[in-house]
Structure 1
Amino acid sequence: MKKRFGYFTDNGREFVITTYNLPRPWINILSNGRYGFLVSHTGGGFSWLIDCNLNRITKWYQDVFRDMDGRYLYIKDIDKNEYWSPTYKPVMKKLDYYECRHGLGYTVIKSRYRGIETEITYFVPRKESMEIWIVRLKNMSKRKRNLEIYTFLEWWLGTIYDIDRQFHGLFYDLWVKDNIMFVTKYFWTGFDGSWNRSWNYIAFLTSSLKAISFEGCREKFIGENRSIVNPETVEKGECYQTIGRGFEPVGVFKYFITLNPGEEKRFTILIGVGENEDRIKKIVKKFIDFENAFRELKEVKKFWLDLLCKTTVETPDKYVNYLVNYWYKYQTISARILSRNAYYQQAAAYGFRDQLQDTLTLLLVDYGWAKRQIIEHAKHQFSDGGVMHWWHEHNDQGMISRHSDTPLWLVFMVINYIKETGDYKFLEEIVPFYDKGEASIFTHCELAIKRVLKKFGRRGLPLFLSGDWNDGFNGVGIKGKAESSWLAEFLYLILNEFSTLCKIIGKNRKAVLYRNKAKRLRKNFNEKCWDGKWYLRGFTDENATIGSHRNKEGKIFLNAQSWAVISGIAPRYKARKAIISAEKMLDTKYGPALFLPAYKNPDEKLGYISRYAPGTKENAGIFMHAVTWMMIAECILGRANKAYKIYIKTCPAYRGLDPNRSKTEPYVVSEWIAGPDSQFFGEGWNSWLTGSAAWSLRVVLDHILGIKATYDGLKINPCIPRKWKKINVKRYFRGSIYEISINNPHRLSRGIERIIVDGKQIKGDIIPLFNDGKTHYVEVFIE
C-alpha cells in the first residue's frame, strides 16, 4: 500500500517520496564517521568534517519549514532562456515528475522538467573526506537541448557560531586551478576557541565536466535584491570568475551540455576537504572517473547491507520487518554514532550515556565496534568514578557530568556486552581514566557504582543531583537533598546484574556485597515510594513529592512505573498495579505520555522541564525513549497485545499513514511526539537523533520476539501478538548463526511447549552455546 507522500520498497531498503510538498523536510544522513552530510528530499542540508558544529563545510541555518540552505544544481535551457532546479529547490518551479529515494547510505532524487530527466545519486565514500554526486541527464523531448548546468553551495568552513557573515568573509581565500575550486579560511575558533588559528584544511569542488566559467563571490552570484531562487548569474548566464579574499564565498561552476533527442549523459560532482592541493588532486583523479564513482557506490551499499543484515526478522507485520532489519539500526549508526547530527538538533559531541545506549545496536552488528565504543567511554571516566557528560572528538573537551545516572550506563553496557559476546577477559583490560591513572574495565564499573552509592538521601534513596535520566529536572536537586525513585530502580537493576557477574567470575564477596545493597535499596524504595496505586517519581530538595496523586501537575510518571517492572524492584502485585495505573492515566491516541498533567508554568524548584511548552519534549510529551521502556514492562508482565498496541501507535511507519499529523519521516524514530497538553498533539519532533531507535530495536528482538542474550546462551521467551502465527528470525550470536522459527498455531501470546535445536529437543529455554561458526536451526513451539 502506498502512503500519501511515499512508500517503502518491497524489500524495505528504500523509502520513496513521491512529492516535494511535505509538511517538513524528510532527510537522509550520509556519513563514514569522518565526513558526512545531510540531504533533504529537496536537496537541502549541509556538509561537515568530524564535528557538525565546530567544523562545518557548507552553510546551513536551521529552518525546517523553509529548508532553503543546501547544495544545489541549476539547469538552464539556453534556447528557451528558462531555468529550474532538478531537486525542486531552490528555484521551486513545478516539476513534471519527481521522486526521492532515501536508501541505506545513499539518496537518489529523480525529476523531469520540460523533457529533461535528471537523476542525482548522493553518497559518501567509505574512506574519503568527501561526497560524490552521480548525475544523469536524459533528453526525453524531440528536440536538441543546449543546457547550462550551475553548481551552487555556500562555503562555511568553521563553527556553527560564525553567523556574522560579512565579518567572516574577511578570512576566506578562494582559488581555481585545473578545473577545481579550492577554498580555505585563515580563522577558526572550533579547535581551541582562540582567535589566532587557521582552519586546518582546504575544501574543494569539482566535476568530471569541464567548466566553462565559475563564480566564487556570493554577492556577485545572487545579484542585488535577489535570492538563490532567482540568482542573477543563472538568469544572465554570466560569471565574474571572482577569486581571492575578502568576500563571502560560494561554490559555483558553469558547465555546458548538449543532448540530442533520447540522448543520456552522466557526470560526477565532488565536494570535500583535504590537507593540501596534492592530496585533493589525487582524490579527484580517482573519483572524477564515473566507473570508479559507481564502483564506490556499490561498495557503500554492500557495507550497509553486510552490517545490518547479520540479524533479521520475518514477522507478519511488514513495518516491523523493515524497521528491525534496516532502519532502526541504520538510524542509530548513521545519525547517532557516525554523525551525531540531524535537522532538528546538531549534537556533534559524544554523549556518555547516549552513545553507550546506542551500542545496544552495535552489539547486533559488530562486536569489535561495540567494544571500542565502551573503551572510549571508559576513557572519559574520572578516577573517582565520575564521568564526562559529553565531549568533542577532535579536541577531547566537553562537560563534566553532574547527573546522577550517567556513570551507571557504563556498567549497564559492559554487562550487556559480556552477555552478548562471552568475552569475560574484557573485564581485565586496562583502560586509562580521563584525569589520571588507569584501571581494569571491572574497576571502572565498580567505581561508577560506588560513586552513585555514596550519594544517597535521607530516605536511603539515590540523589537526583543535576538530573537523572530526565535532564529537565535540573532544579530539583541543586541543594543536594532531592532523591530519585527512577534512579533507585535503575541502580537496583545494576546492583543485581553486577552481583551476578561477580559471582560468575569468582568474586563471591563482592557478589554478596552488591546483592545486599540491592536488598536494602529495594526495602527503602517500596517503603518510601509507593503512592497507593503507583510509584512516586521522587522527592525535591524541599521534601515535596514528584509524581503523586497529591500533585496537581505531574501526578504520575511513566518511567517510575515501567522501571519498577524492568528492574524487578517492585513486588509483582504492585508492579502490575503501577502499570495498569500508567495505562489508565497516561495512554493516549498517539502513545503513553511521559507524565501527566504537564507543568503549565516555569518552576525553578523543578528545572527547565517546566519551561518547555506543556505537552512538549520532557514536559509531558510522548517521549519515545520512555515509550520503549513501557513496552518492555508490558512484555515482562506477559501483556503482549498491550505492548504491540503501543508499538503500533508510536511506530514511525504506522504514524506515516497520517503524515500531516505525524510530520516527520516514516522510516525513522522521532525523539518525542507532542502530548495531549500541547496544541500540536500527535506531531513528531526531533527525528533521527534519538536513542529510541536502539531501544525500539531491542523491544522487538529481546522482548516481543523474546530472543535475548544471556551469559549462558540465547534465551527464548516470546511475548507476541496473538495474531502472529509464524515468525522467522536470523540471529547472529557468538560467531554462529541461529535460524529460529517461532510457531504459534493456536494464536497464543506466550508459553513455550518445546524447543528443537538441530533436530533435537532441548531442556529449558536457553539455546546451548556452539561457538563453531556454523548455522544452527531452532524451532520454537508456543502451545
Structure 2
Amino acid sequence: MQYGHFDNENREYVIDRVDLPTSWTNYIGVKDMCAVLNHTAGGYIFYKSPEYHRITRFRPNGVPMDRPGHYVYLRDDESGDYWSVSWQPVGKPLDQAKYTCRHGMSYSVYECDYSDIFASQKMSVAMDDPVEIWDVRIKNNSDRTRKLSVFSYLEFSFHQIAMDNQNFQMSMYASGSSYEDGIIECDLFYEEFGYQFFTADFTPDSYDCLRDKFIGSYRTEDNPIGVENGHLSGSSELGNNHCGALHKQLVLKPGEEVRVIFLLGEGTRENGKKIRAKYANGPAADHVYEQLKVCWDKKINRLQIHTPDEGMNTLINTWTLYQAEVNIMFSRFASFIEVGGRTGLGYRDTSQGSMTVPHSNPEKCRQRIVELLRGLVKEGYGLHLFQPEWFDPEEKGKKPFKSPTVVPTPKLDDMIHGIEDTCSDDALWLVASINEYIKETGEFSFLDEIYTYADGGEGSVYEHMKRILDFSCRQVGEDGICKGLRADWNDCLNLGGGESAMEFYHALCPYYQNDKIEIREAEPYSYCQFVVGKDHTAFGRARHPFMTGTGGWAYYSATHYMLGIRPGMDALEIDPCIPKGWDGFTLTRQWRGAQYDITVENPEHVSKGVCQIFLDGALTEKIPVQEAGSTHKVRIVMGSTQDEKEEAK
C-alpha cells in the first residue's frame, strides 16, 4: 500500500494519505536551531541542545501520538466550524477534507482543502537567525465572501528535559509569560538567557499565553476552547504552562488569498521586534527558502549519479545524502525516539558520520573530528558519550546549566570513564574519518594542528591518531585477537560481487518499500536503525528513522564501493562493482575544487574490473588532482586488461 510518492524534480516526498501507521518525520534547520516535525505538524524545536535548550514541548510515546506540535487552526466565524491546516490535531474526516504533507530539504509543507478554503503552512528555519518561520497561505475558493479566523498554537517547554518531566513543584513556578506589542515572551527565570518569543506579521485580535486557558479543561489540542469560542482570553502568568497562541480575524472575497507569517524565535521581546522587522513579510520568507535551496543545491551537486537503478538514483542524489547530513549536523540525539534526554556525541556514531559527507559538508565534519579529538584520553581511547562543551576551550568560561532544583553538579573528572566502560572500536573510527577528510579536502596540514586530550595535556592530530592505534595494539588477548572490552561494532560484512551487493542494497533500500507501507510502516525516504526479522511477529516493520548510521553507511558503501568513486591522497580512484547487466552509468563529482564528468562503460558486462581510464580524451593510469575551478571529462571502460586476456588464453 502506498501513502505517498517521490517528487524528484522538487526533491520532496509527497504524502498523499496522511493516516499513516506511524510518524514520518523531517528535520527543519541546518545550523543551531532545529525542529523535528512529522507529517501532521507534531513535534518540537530546540536550540543547540534538545536536552538543555528545547523551546517547545513534546510528549513522546503518548496517546494521541506525537503531541503537541506547531499548529495552525482555521475557523469559519459564521458557522463556528473549525479545522487545522495539518490533518492533526483536529483530524477532519478524510472523505470531507483533503490533506497533503510535503517533506523537503529542511522544510515541510502542510496543505488542506476543506469547506472551499485551501490553506498551506510552510515550516522552515532561517539560516542567518535562530527563528522558525510559519508561512501560512489561505485562499477562498468559494463564490461568496468568507469570514474566517486563524489561530496559532505551540506549547513552550521548561527548556531542560528533566524540568519538563519531573519535580513539577519546582517546574510549574520556574517560568513566566507575558504579551506586549504583538509579541508573546516566555521567560525561564532560572536561566540568564532563557527567553523565547512568538509573534506574527499582524496585530492580533486576541491572544493566550497560558496553555490551559487556550485548550480548556478536559480538552486536548483536538478541540481547544479558544478556537471553539472564536476568541482568546488574553491570559498570562508568572508560573504555569505557557503557549504561543495568536488570533487574527480575516475577511476573504471569492478567489482572494492572504498570507500570514508567524515567527518563533530565540531571545527576548526586544530581539523579537528585530526579528519581526526582518522576517515578518512574504519577500523575507521567500529569501529564506532561496537560501535553503542554494545551500542544499551546493551540497547535492557535489555528487550526482545516473544509473540504471531508479531507487539508487533517487536516494543517493537526494535522500540518503540528506539523512547523512542530518546526522552530522545534529548527531543522534533528536528524534521521536531519541527525544533529547541523552544528548552529546557518541564517539563511534560521530566518527562514522564524519566519514560519510566530507565532500558535501567539510566544515561540519572537521568540527566533529576536532570535538572527537578533544574527547580522546591520553591512553588512546575515546569517551563513549560526551558533551563537546566539556572540552571546548571557548566554552569552559561559560556558566553551566544549573537546575533550580538542588542537584549536585558533577565534576569534569567524573565524566572521564575508565577502560571498564570503553568500547574497543570507538576511537579507531576516528582514524578512518581523519583519513577520509584529508583525502577529500587535501588539508594535510590538519595533521599538525594541536588539540587537547580529555584528561589533560595536548598533542598533534597525528599524535592523537598514533595513541589510538597504540591503544588498540595493546588491547589484544593471548591469542592475538582484539579484545571487545565493554562492546565493539564487529558486524561488518564483505559481500563480494556486484550482483550480491546490489541484491542486498535492494533488500535494504527504503525506496523499494514505498508500496509496502502496511508492512514497513516507517518513512520510505529514510533508512531505519532496525528492520524486524522473520522470526518476529512484526516481520518487515522498520523503526528508528533518520538518526542512525545506516543512512550514512548506505551512502558511503554505494558511492565509494558499488559505484567505486573513491578520493585518494593524490588521485581520484574509480573502481566500480556493479551488476553485470548494467551497460554502465554516468555521474558528476566535485573534488578539491574541480569537477569531473564521469562516464563508466561496461561493454563486456563484467561485475568488476577496469581496463582503460581516459582523462580529457587521453589514456592515463590514474586521475590526479586537477586545478580548482576546472572541469574534466573522465571515461572509464570496465573489462579485462590486455594482460588478463592473455592469461585467460
TM-score of the superposed pair, with normalisation by structure 2:
0.90
3-state secondary structure, aligned to 1:70: coil
Distance 1:422 1:49 in 2: 33
Conserved? CA contact 1:720–1:750, under 8 Å: yes
Residue of structure 2 equivalent to 1:137? 138
Q: Which amino acid aligns with 1:692?
A: T
Conserved? CA contact 1:105–1:301, under 8 Å: no
Q: Aligned pair 1:306/2:298, yes or no?
A: yes
Once the two structures are TM-superposed, the CA of residue 260 in structure 1 deviates from its matched residue by 0.7
Distance 1:755 1:296 in 2: 43
CA deviation profile, 1:66-119 (whole Å, cap 9, x unmatched):
223211111110111110111011111125222111111111111111011001
3-state secondary structure, aligned to 2:567: strand
Residue of structure 2 equivalent to 1:85? 84
- Partner residue of 1:330 out of 301, 310, 322: 322
3-state secondary structure, aligned to 1:698: helix
Conserved? CA contact 1:663–1:684, under 8 Å: yes
CA deviation profile, 1:584-608 (whole Å, cap 9, x unmatched):
xxxxxxxxxxxxxxxxxxxxxxxxx
- Partner residue of 2:542 out of 684, 697, 719: 684
3-state secondary structure, aligned to 2:157: strand
Q: Which amino acid aligns with 1:87?
A: S
Distance 1:658 1:779 in 2: 39
Q: Which runs of 5+ in 2 are unaligned?
A: 392-411, 640-649
Residue of structure 2 equivalent to 1:57? 55
Distance 1:722 1:21 in 2: 41
Once the two structures are TM-superposed, the CA of residue 757 in structure 1 deviates from its matched residue by 0.9
Residue of structure 1 equivalent to 2:215? 222
Distance 1:315 1:62 in 2: 40
The within-5 A match list for 1:459-470 is 459-469=479-489
Q: Which runs of 5+ in 1 are unaligned?
A: 188-197, 470-485, 487-558, 563-629
Q: Which amino acid aligns with 1:205?
A: F
- Partner residue of 1:375 out of 367, 370, 375: 370
TM-score of the superposed pair, with normalisation by structure 1:
0.75
Q: Aligned pair 1:254/2:262, yes or no?
A: no
Distance 1:48 1:231 in 2: 25
Once the two structures are TM-superposed, the CA of residue 293 in structure 1 deviates from its matched residue by 1.6
Distance 2:524 2:518 in 1: 11
- Partner residue of 1:776 out of 611, 621, 632: 632
Distance 1:774 1:210 in 2: 53
Residue of structure 1 equivalent to 2:502? 644
Distance 1:278 1:669, change over 3 A: same
Of residues 748-757 and 295-304 in structure 1, the stretch that sits farther from structure 2 once superposed is 748-757
Once the two structures are TM-superposed, the CA of residue 393 in structure 1 deviates from its matched residue by 4.5
The within-5 A match list for 1:84-123 is 84-95=83-94, 96-123=97-124
- Partner residue of 1:416 out of 425, 431, 436: 436
Q: Which amino acid aligns with 1:685?
A: R
3-state secondary structure, aligned to 2:470: helix
Residue of structure 2 equivalent to 1:177? 180
Residue of structure 2 equivalent to 1:282? 274
Conserved? CA contact 1:652–1:666, under 8 Å: yes
Once the two structures are TM-superposed, the CA of residue 120 in structure 1 deviates from its matched residue by 0.9
Conserved? CA contact 1:17–1:101, under 8 Å: yes
Q: Which amino acid aligns with 1:406?
A: D
Once the two structures are TM-superposed, the CA of residue 395 in structure 1 deviates from its matched residue by 5.3
The within-5 A match list for 1:310-459 is 310-338=302-330, 340=332, 341-346=334-339, 347-394=342-389, 400=417, 402-459=422-479
Distance 1:421 1:223, change over 3 A: closer
Distance 1:394 1:430, change over 3 A: closer
Conserved? CA contact 1:31–1:339, under 8 Å: no
Distance 1:391 1:781, change over 3 A: same
Q: Which amino acid aligns with 2:530?
A: W
Once the two structures are TM-superposed, the CA of residue 399 in structure 1 deviates from its matched residue by 6.0
Distance 2:440 2:290 in 1: 31
Conserved? CA contact 1:427–1:441, under 8 Å: yes
Distance 1:219 1:422 in 2: 57
Once the two structures are TM-superposed, the CA of residue 722 in structure 1 deviates from its matched residue by 2.1
Distance 1:399 1:317, change over 3 A: farther
Distance 1:375 1:335 in 2: 16
Q: Which amino acid aligns with 2:261?
A: T
Q: Which amino acid aligns with 1:291?
A: P
Residue of structure 2 equivalent to 1:502? none
Distance 2:188 2:441 in 1: 47
The within-5 A match list for 1:465-614 is 465-469=485-489, 486=490, 559=491, 562=492
- Partner residue of 1:701 out of 556, 559, 574: 559
Q: Which amino acid aligns with 1:246?
A: G
CA deviation profile, 1:454-505 (whole Å, cap 9, x unmatched):
2222222222221112xxxxxxxxxxxxxxxx4xxxxxxxxxxxxxxxxxxx
Distance 2:433 2:166 in 1: 43
3-state secondary structure, aligned to 1:461: coil
Distance 1:372 1:144, change over 3 A: same
Residue of structure 2 equivalent to 1:598? none
3-state secondary structure, aligned to 1:58: coil
3-state secondary structure, aligned to 2:326: helix
Q: Which amino acid aligns with 1:362?
A: V
Once the two structures are TM-superposed, the CA of residue 703 in structure 1 deviates from its matched residue by 0.8
Distance 2:523 2:552 in 1: 17
Residue of structure 2 equivalent to 1:31? 29
Distance 1:678 1:768 in 2: 51
3-state secondary structure, aligned to 1:325: helix
Distance 1:78 1:251 in 2: 21
Conserved? CA contact 1:51–1:392, under 8 Å: no
CA deviation profile, 1:722-761 (whole Å, cap 9, x unmatched):
2221311111222211111011234332222311110111
Of residues 398-407 and 424-433 in structure 1, the stretch that sits farther from structure 2 once superposed is 398-407
Conserved? CA contact 1:651–1:669, under 8 Å: yes
RMSD of Structure 2 on Structure 1 (CA): 1.9
Distance 1:434 1:127 in 2: 32
Residue of structure 2 equivalent to 1:478? none
Once the two structures are TM-superposed, the CA of residue 51 in structure 1 deviates from its matched residue by 0.7
For CA contacts below 8 A with separation 6 or more, give which structure has more relative contact order: 2
Q: Aligned pair 1:5/2:3, yes or no?
A: yes
3-state secondary structure, aligned to 1:382: coil
Q: Aligned pair 1:675/2:543, yes or no?
A: no
Residue of structure 2 equivalent to 1:163? 165
3-state secondary structure, aligned to 2:158: strand
Residue of structure 1 equivalent to 2:43? 45
* Matched positions, count: 606
Distance 1:246 1:420 in 2: 52
Residue of structure 2 equivalent to 1:541? none
Conserved? CA contact 2:116–2:141, under 8 Å: yes
Once the two structures are TM-superposed, the CA of residue 687 in structure 1 deviates from its matched residue by 0.4
Conserved? CA contact 1:701–1:707, under 8 Å: yes
Once the two structures are TM-superposed, the CA of residue 166 in structure 1 deviates from its matched residue by 4.8
Conserved? CA contact 2:30–2:329, under 8 Å: no
Distance 2:269 2:314 in 1: 43
Distance 1:421 1:225 in 2: 58
